[in-house]
Structure 1
Amino acid sequence: MSTHPPFTISDVRVFGGGALIPGVTHVRVSAGRIAAVGDASVAQAGDAVVDGSGATLLPGLVDAHVHLLPGCTRLAAVFGVTTVLDMFSKPETIVPERSAVAASVRGAGPVHADMRTSSVGATAPGGHPTIAYAPFPYVTGPRDAAAFVADRVAEGATHLKVIYDDGSGAMLDIPALDVPTIEALVTAAHDSGLPVVAHASSAAGAVTVARCGVDVLAHAPFDRMTDAQIRDVARCGVAVVATLSVVDGFPGQDGVMPLLAQPHLAGRLGARWRRLIERQALRWMPPEPPDGAAQRYNTVAFLESGLRVLAGTDAPNPGLVFGASLHRELQHLVDAGFTPGEALAAATSTPAAVFGLADRGEIAAGRRADLVLVEGDPTADIAATQRIRDVWVLGRRVDPGAYAGSEAEHAGVRWQRDSAQKIITAIGEMWPGFPAPQEVRRDDGEPVGRVVPTSGGWQAMTIFGAPLGDPADRDEAVAVVRACGLACLAEPWWARVGDDPVWREARIVEAAPDRVRLRWADPMIDQPPSGQWFGLDDLDLSLDRPAG
């Protein structure tokens, strides 16, 4: 690991991992570690000084439930999440991300959060999450357990993920592991020194896997648990990753996705991710989206029963973004009934203890210098964690603007979009009646656009995804696409590129599903005679001139 000049953060309140540390106002960092914690006397001659006046210093945050995508550890660090715990990814995603993290540790390239991974999770043939990740190795019975765990260890897994989910919570019927197989997996993992994290979405499932000896529940169950079920799980002593922020996958009554309604988070997020989240609001929604009340009840009941609760997001599910969504998770924990201090511990010292990460999670001499400096006092107002001043990983400062617009951002957004399309296609094949986007074609077979099921009805869209009018019933939306899908391409459009807030008039010279070629109407803009191609991740388009 390369060394970096020592620095001291001065005149700051310090949350040590469980509470504010009385009398501590200064923290010194040297060679990627916390060298000293105390008063002004800890600073040494030659130190750079970071003014912490009016701010609070936190240990680097830990997201205890993510699934990797390209560049996610770099994005997480932008928001002060300095460790991510992956709960199911395939080697082709893990290996390059692990290499990027290793380079960051050496001081090469941009700063990345650290990561731990389960690699591929254990599930029955065709079981959850086959739709998202197939192909991958399955577990057919107890005899497969030892070899499956050995293969995960060879891939660098630091914990084992086990999936126990028959789909009943979502009114589905999918294969699931049986109890003897789960017990065999737990034994094999523990023999290899791996803790076991179990996905079980229902209250009954949580009781079952807890009795099998797993160490961590990957979610607080989504249906309300009885007192007897809470006691049963508590007797087993498992830890629980809350994942309350999964409700952020559904827009509010104003149609805005919850993450984007948080100005400090949305403002720190690049335009590509903002556009992706905005477009995720234009998808089919259940008639009554989940409100998370049962999950919140279960999470507080677990805490009150003495179990350790961890903050985790399940990013990158719809509406969730690495790093940013952990701050929403903290809000959800406090809204459920946690004190701000309990919520902060759930994202710092508690996951470090549960997963054996003894070198982080607290601000103390000798720990990794994974630190987050935030405006205000989050032990009084949890929303203060969103007002980030600075982030360091192993003492390296994160440049908050370097990720936005980068190829890493583009790769992550593209991976997320392609993964969502894969899932939509698979769902359509498995359940033909399930509402899914439909392509609209002319009589000669030429595609003219598509209609997308949303919470407000069917949305007519151009071939490149720009909305045409308001949602309506399916037949009306199809009629709009047939009438306007191609004709509107000849009309003037308004476009906004990247983070530029200015809308400019343009003509669409050529259109494809993932990009358009524009020619700007302003003759003063320097551009090729035939116009310029723009990827849709970098562009907002509107037929009507937006206000402002």
Structure 2
Amino acid sequence: MAITFLHTRLIDRGEVLPADCLRVEDSRISAIGGPDLAQPGDELVNGGTLLPGLIDAHVHLVPGASRLAATYGVTTLIDQFSKPDLIAAERSAGADFRTSSIGATAPGGHPTLAYAPFPHVEGAAEAKQFVADRIAEGADHLKLIYDDGSGAAMNIPTLDEPTIRALVEAAHSEGLKVVAHVSTAAGALKVVECGADILAHAPSDLMTPAQVEAIATAGAAVIATLDITDGFGTVGELPLMREAALMARMPARWRRVLDKQSRRWMPPEAPDNTITRANTLALHQAGVPVLAGTDAPNPGLIFGASLHRELQHLVQAGLTPAEAIVAATVAPAEVFELADRSRLAVGARADLLLVDGDPLADITATQQIRHTWLAGEIAVPASDEVELAGIHFIGETTDRIITALKDMWPGFPAPEDVYREDGELLGHVVPMTEGWLPITVFGSALGPATDRETAVETLENKGLSSLGETWWARTDGDWQEATIIEAQPDRVRLRWNDPMLDQPPSGQWYPLTDVDLEFR
């Protein structure tokens, strides 16, 4: 079906087009002009602001990532490290992305904790075969990691300079661009000197004018990823959770993921992005293409939703709203050579985002989403099965990272199990910035964060007896009183206290992904 947008603000390359009508036919933009371009039988859409679909230039795939992103107007993802089986499964979902497949890193180097086992690169002699293997997996570009951990007071293995140069040469000989993960200004300069095309992050230490100029002279681009700091906040509230319009669109299961991530250990002083913002602005002013990217699904970051936060961070860094929109549309399309999208132009792929308000005046207007179209078709969410697979993938990855960190650093703050004298598990105490949070076996808080001894005592007194108390629960609707008949680490059996509800006498099992619980 053809679609005609009538009397709509059209934004292309960060500027308002003089025309205010646009027609889509057969997955492409077919005409731009006045209202006379509408034809009989067209679906008519009136008003609002139409943008090209947004591009997130830095993510790591999970099942359903591209479908979730599209509900927020992000119609293309640039994956910066995923395994081939996940890539193949996500391609079959039909949504669009580009990928590096497995990134090149030294044995034991970043991000081994999250993705092991996977192939590593032990020296320059392995570079050509490593690149060939990634191309065979469907890689569209090469990702390499040059990070010894010094930016985070760590000591981890990393690639040496000859290996980086060999990887860049092998990738370029096959027509692939090279994205380099670095965390420091010196690292950024090194990889660019070795020929890398794109920095995966803005450096976290202040760049000198000479370093900025060197990056610009080399013709490299940078993916800002300023919103990484959105992974830090207070108990029960991460920055994304304060964005009402974004949260209103968030599927309940993903909202629960975000809520759980807000109740984890965080450092006493949350990192800020003051320096990375300054670096981003300096690079931008020097002519370096700045690309919007989120690094989802790091804690506090949700596919699609977090790119709107990234746009806010870019404006706070000093870019204009128009420049931030360019960073999420035409700039990544040009850098990653996606010539068929990110434009409101005749012949372009009809990946479109319709919002209310004027994002050129207020960048938060991008959050006022009406609809998203993928190649001219309304974006649809992932199936329940795929959505659950994505959430479980994140949970398993998080558990693997925490286990590895505990093995490496025995003092690393991590949840502790609390048992009754007879060996029955009562729950867990979870270290937080504010203290220790007492958590039931099924993951619900029994009180506020306190000192460890008080949290343990709370579990000893209430860990099991609370099951006989009245809880508040909700699935997709309003909060209601309920009794927990039985509980397991991944599900609970609830009986609603409302006598008018039709329910089994013994209650009903609910996966924890599908129910919110509060002990009030």
The equivalences for 1:369-380 within 5 A come to 369-380=350-361
Residue 107 of structure 1 corresponds to none
What's the offset of the Cα at 1:199?
Answer: 0.3
Q: Aligned partner of 1:13: which letter? A: R
Residue 387 of structure 2 corresponds to 409
SS of residue matched to 2:12: coil
Residue 109 of structure 1 corresponds to none
Residue 478 of structure 1 corresponds to 456
Residue 98 of structure 1 corresponds to 91
Structure 1 contact 17–58 (Cα < 8 Å) conserved: no
Q: Aligned Cα RMSD in Å?
A: 1.3
What's the offset of the Cα at 1:506?
Answer: 1.7
Structure 1 gaps of 5+ residues are 102-111
Q: Distance in 2 between matches of 1:462 and 1:255?
A: 16
Q: Distance in 1 between matches of 2:519 and 2:90?
A: 40
The equivalences for 1:83-482 within 5 A come to 83-101=76-94, 112=95, 114-251=96-233, 255-399=236-380, 402-403=381-382, 406-482=384-460
Structure 1 contact 76–322 (Cα < 8 Å) conserved: yes
Q: Aligned partner of 2:477: which letter? A: D
Q: Distance in 1 between matches of 2:504 and 2:511?
A: 17
Q: Distance in 1 between matches of 2:433 and 2:212?
A: 34
2:513 to 537, 541, 544: 537
TM-score, normalised by the number of residues in structure 2 = 0.98
Find out whether 1:42 has 2:37 as its counterpart.
yes
Q: Distance in 2 between matches of 1:509 and 1:164?
A: 52
1:496 to 474, 477, 487: 474
Residue 72 of structure 2 corresponds to 79
The equivalences for 1:26-41 within 5 A come to 26-41=21-36
TM-score, normalised by the number of residues in structure 1 = 0.93
Q: Aligned partner of 2:482: which letter? A: A
1:63 to 45, 56, 61: 56
Q: Distance in 2 between matches of 1:406 and 1:207?
A: 45
What's the offset of the Cα at 1:255?
Answer: 4.8
What's the offset of the Cα at 1:460?
Answer: 0.8
Structure 2 contact 67–379 (Cα < 8 Å) conserved: no
Q: Aligned partner of 1:127: which letter? A: G
Structure 2 contact 349–375 (Cα < 8 Å) conserved: yes
Structure 2 gaps of 5+ residues are none
Q: Distance in 2 between matches of 1:288 and 1:28?
A: 51
Instruction: Please give the per-residue CA displacement for 1:465-509, whole angstroms capped at 9, x wherever unaligned.
Output: 111111112222122222221121122212111x212x2222211
SS of residue matched to 2:215: helix
Q: Distance in 1 between matches of 2:99 and 2:312?
A: 26
Residue 15 of structure 1 corresponds to 11
What's the offset of the Cα at 1:210?
Answer: 1.1
SS of residue matched to 1:264: helix
Structure 1 contact 82–370 (Cα < 8 Å) conserved: yes
Q: Distance in 2 between matches of 1:447 and 1:128?
A: 35
Q: Aligned partner of 1:97: which letter? A: E
SS of residue matched to 1:15: strand
Runs of 4+ in structure 1 off by over 6 angstroms are none
Number of aligned residues: 520
What's the offset of the Cα at 1:422?
Answer: 1.4
- Percent identity between the aligned chains? 57
Q: Aligned partner of 2:34: which letter? A: D
What's the offset of the Cα at 1:438?
Answer: 1.1
The equivalences for 1:497-536 within 5 A come to 497=475, 499-501=476-478, 503-536=479-512
